[in-house]
């Protein structure tokens, strides 16, 4: 079966990537946005985060073509992973060459809307000059990625997700929590820092809660346990 290979990575313009660059100089950013599903987000059902998913935030709220393109990329990943990974490696190689030529640091987020264990595909291992980072809902990934691939754990109060949260709390990995109604000073016994400023700064906030403000029209109305109402929690979480 033949495939019309599309460009997988987006450069710099994604609003989720722009936040990464705040305060940084001489960097080139890239991200991979797939369409969320139980296949590429294995813990999403337990975390009950589909209704608050960012797939309908940003430009996707305005242009239907955004999610159509994401779905095409996702179909390629699930239907022909070998072709997908070959294309991804090609684009990462080009990005790495571009960064070196222009004396810049390449920073890549491969799971903008997914939760794939790219370390199992040896992607970060094969590109040591690129810095990778992601959010994950899979606590068993924490501490098991190469040095150039850093992770932050995504919280949900869903009962079926509690084991994942408990496992994450046993590490010093930054834990991101989406709040509605402002950021509290503490949550789950950890200090809360403002996570909407810079993703790179968040990665170094070990042992802390990274507070994120809810985004997207649907998410703001959602009753998903992925979103914590700060007006309903006691001081200290």
Angle at 153 between CA 15 and CA 189, to 5 degrees: 115
Burial class (CB in 10 A: 0-12, 13-18, 19+), 105: middle
130 touches 91 (CB < 8 A): no
Lowest mean pLDDT among 12-26, 89-103, 108-122, 196-210: 12-26
Average the pLDDT over 67-88 and give the result: 92
Say if residue 91's pLDDT is above 70: yes
* Dist. CA 215–CA 160, nearest whole Å: 24
Position 55 scores a pLDDT of 47
pTM, two decimal places: 0.84
């Amino acid at each position: 079966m033949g495939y019309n290979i599309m460009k997988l990575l987006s450069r710099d313009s994604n609003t989720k990537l722009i936040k990464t660059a705040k305060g940084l100089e001489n960097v080139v950013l890239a991200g991979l946005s797939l369409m969320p599903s139980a296949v590429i987000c294995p813990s999403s059902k337990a975390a009950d985060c589909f209704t608050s998913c960012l797939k309908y935030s940003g430009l996707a709220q305005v242009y239907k073509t955004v999610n159509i393109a994401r779905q095409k990329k996702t179909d390629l990943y699930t239907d022909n992973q070998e072709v997908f990974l070959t294309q991804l490696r090609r684009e990462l190689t080009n990005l790495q060459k571009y960064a070196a030529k222009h004396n810049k640091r390449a920073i890549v987020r491969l799971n903008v809307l997914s939760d794939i264990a790219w370390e199992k595909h040896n992607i970060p291992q094969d590109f040591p000059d690129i810095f990778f980072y992601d959010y994950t809902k899979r606590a068993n990934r924490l501490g098991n990625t190469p040095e150039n691939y850093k992770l932050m754990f995504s919280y949900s109060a869903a009962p079926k997700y509690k084991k994942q949260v408990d496992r994450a709390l046993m590490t010093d990995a930054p834990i991101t929590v989406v709040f509605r109604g402002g950021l509290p000073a503490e949550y789950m016994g950890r200090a809360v820092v403002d996570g909407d400023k810079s993703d790179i700064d968040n990665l170094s906030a070990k042992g802390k809660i990274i507070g994120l403000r809810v985004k997207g029209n649907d998410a703001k109305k959602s009753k998903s346990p992925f979103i914590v109402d700060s007006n309903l929690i006691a001081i200290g979480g």
